[in-house]
Amino acid sequence: MIISNDCWVSINLNELVKERMKFLKIDMTEDEIDETANELRTRMTFDSLFEQTDMMIWEISDSYGSLYEMVELVSPSWTIEIPRRIR
């Protein structure tokens, strides 16, 4: 048993693929679903999740405007803006 005050998010990628298939009106075999989920496991980025988290931090924090500046982190597969503390 784990007792924790942390908030956790767990994503079943196979279920995610199945739900998105319905939305996109695409039929796939179970093998194709497994293959898609496995590819997502290694290739999925969390850009939107990071952006939403940053926005909530800024919304909750009263000191955002005076203590931080926005900088870009760039990778071959993604770019995100993050706050950097001003010294």
Per-residue tokens: 21: 């298939």
Q: Is the pLDDT of residue 64 over 70?
A: no
Q: State whether 71 and 39 are in the same domain.
A: no
Q: Which residue intervals of the chain are DSSP H helices?
A: 13-24, 30-43, 47-60, 64-67
3-state secondary structure of 25: coil
Which DSSP helix (H) or strand (E) runs through 86?
none
pLDDT at residue 33, rounded to an integer: 93
Tokens, residue 46 = 């969390």
Is 87 contained in some domain? yes
Residue 35 to residue 19: CA distance in whole angstroms: 15
Same domain, 66 and 83: yes
Q: Model pTM?
A: 0.56
pLDDT tens track for 9-47:
889 999 999 999 998 899 999 999 999 999 999 888 888
Q: Which amino acid is at 65?
A: G
**Residue 70 structural domain:** 45-87
Residues 56 and 87 in one domain: yes
